[in-house]
């Protein structure tokens, strides 16, 4: 059907889960995930760029990016976006002015790499270790991101900010940066865990919404398989449908010892939510 949202999957969700983490770059199996995601019916993959072993990530070298593009061509599955977890450690707010400038330069470089993969979006997580919880930190991250805006324009890449603060405040931070390629990348599960009713929390962000991470979490708790957490998915999807949202959804689901089964369940869950809205 035309003009229906794409549903992607977070990299690493189609490989064996790390012993102590829910999300990590799959160094040994990243190339295999393209064919797996395509076979299951996903539209694209969100690449992970994290601080741990960053220099070994294929996105960091010409040869590595060529290898990624070869996987895209062979599988027919795009890299739709890049998850920039690297900047949860190498922060754009806090630390010294020199550190912030260096990290902004690193993000500008990632913008170019992202476009070389054929992707048009970077997710920038401003949460947990990189949260901007004070006016001073908001000012610093605004300054840092404005340094990156020329690269966004040059390469045609959108920077989607993910935050765990109430929707009105979240919208204020995005708007305060003042650039049309800096938008909101909303996470259903993380906002639910903060105690927000996502169907209402999303309202101020609708004009700014670039993409949605779909996960289920308990209020003040951990990730859960879809349907076992507290996320108000039926009303959330109804709000997006009423607003005419046609952007991407990305499953960042809980997974266990059977990653492909978990991924298939997550895709079907999102597709069913979309079908219910089309039938309404």
Q: Where are the domains of the chain?
A: 7-279
160's enclosing H/E stretch is strand 158-163
Please report, in angstroms and rounded to a whole number, the separation of the first and last CA atoms in the chain: 16
Count, in order, helices (H) and strands (E) of the chain: 9, 10
In this structure, are residues 162 and 123 in contact, taking their beta carbons and an 8 Å threshold? yes
Q: What is the CA radius of gyration of the chain?
A: 18
Exposed/middle/buried for residue 54 (C-beta within 10 Å: 0-12, 13-18, 19+): middle
Return phi, psi of residue 101, to 5°: -65, -40
**pLDDT higher than threshold 50 for residue 2:** no
- Distance between CA atoms of 44 and 269, rounded to whole angstroms? 17
7-279 homologous superfamily: Divalent-metal-dependent TIM barrel enzymes (3.20.20.150)
Residue 171 near residue 194, CB atoms below 8 Å: no
Q: Evaluate if residue 42 carries a pLDDT over 80.
A: yes
- For residue 3, the model assigns a pLDDT of 65
Alpha helices in 178-216 (DSSP H): 188-193, 198-201
pLDDT digits (tens, 9 = 90+) for 191-226: 999 999 999 999 999 999 999 999 999 999 999 999
Q: So what's the pLDDT on residue 22?
A: 81
Give dist(CA 13, CA 34) in Å, integer: 11
73-77, 142-146, 164-168, 250-254: segment of lowest average pLDDT: 250-254
Instruction: Give mean pLDDT, residues 248-276.
Output: 93
Average model confidence (pLDDT) for the chain? Answer: 95
- For the ranges 35-39, 242-246, 253-257, 259-263, the lowest mean pLDDT is seen at 253-257
> What token pair was written down for 226?
């879809």
Q: What percent of the chain lies above the pLDDT cut of 90?
A: 92
Express as a percent the part of the chain with pLDDT over 70.
Answer: 99
The DSSP call for residue 6 is: P
8 Å CB contact between 111 and 100: no
Write the pLDDT tens digit of every residue in 66-97.
999 999 999 999 999 999 999 999 999 999 99
Confidence of residue 1 (pLDDT cuts 50, 70, 90): very low
The two tokens of residue 9 are: 């999957």
Poorest-pLDDT segment among 115-119, 130-134, 159-163, 251-255 = 251-255
Residue 62 sits at φ, ψ, to 5 deg, of -60, -45
């Amino acid at each position: 059907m035309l003009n229906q949202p794409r549903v992607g999957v977070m990299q690493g969700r189609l490989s064996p889960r790390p012993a102590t983490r829910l999300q990590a770059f799959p160094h040994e199996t990243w190339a295999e995930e393209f064919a797996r995601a395509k076979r299951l019916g996903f539209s694209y993959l969100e690449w992970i760029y994290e601080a741990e072993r960053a220099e070994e990530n294929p996105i960091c070298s010409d040869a590595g990016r060529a290898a990624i593009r070869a996987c895209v061509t062979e599988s027919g599955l795009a890299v739709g976006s890049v998850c920039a977890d690297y900047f949860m450690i190498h922060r754009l707010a806090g630390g010294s002015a020199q550190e912030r400038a260096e990290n902004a330069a690193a993000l500008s470089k990632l913008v170019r790499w992202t476009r070389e993969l054929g992707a048009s979006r970077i997710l920038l997580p401003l949460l947990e270790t990189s949260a901007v919880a004070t006016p001073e930190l908001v000012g610093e991250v605004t300054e840092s991101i404005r340094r990156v805006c020329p690269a966004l324009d040059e390469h045609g890449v959108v920077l989607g900010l993910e935050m765990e603060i109430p929707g009105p405040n979240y919208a204020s931070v995005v708007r305060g940066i003042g650039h049309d390629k800096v938008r909101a990348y909303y996470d259903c599960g993380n906002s639910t865990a903060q105690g927000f009713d996502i169907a209402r929390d999303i309202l101020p962000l609708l004009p700014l919404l670039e993409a949605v991470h779909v996960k289920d979490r308990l209020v003040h708790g951990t990730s859960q398989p879809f349907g076992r957490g507290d996320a108000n998915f039926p009303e959330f999807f109804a709000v997006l449908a009423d607003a005419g949202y046609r952007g991407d959804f990305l499953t960042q689901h809980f997974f266990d010892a059977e990653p492909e089964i978990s991924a298939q369940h997550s895709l079907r869950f999102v597709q069913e939510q979309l079908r219910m809205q089309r039938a309404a």
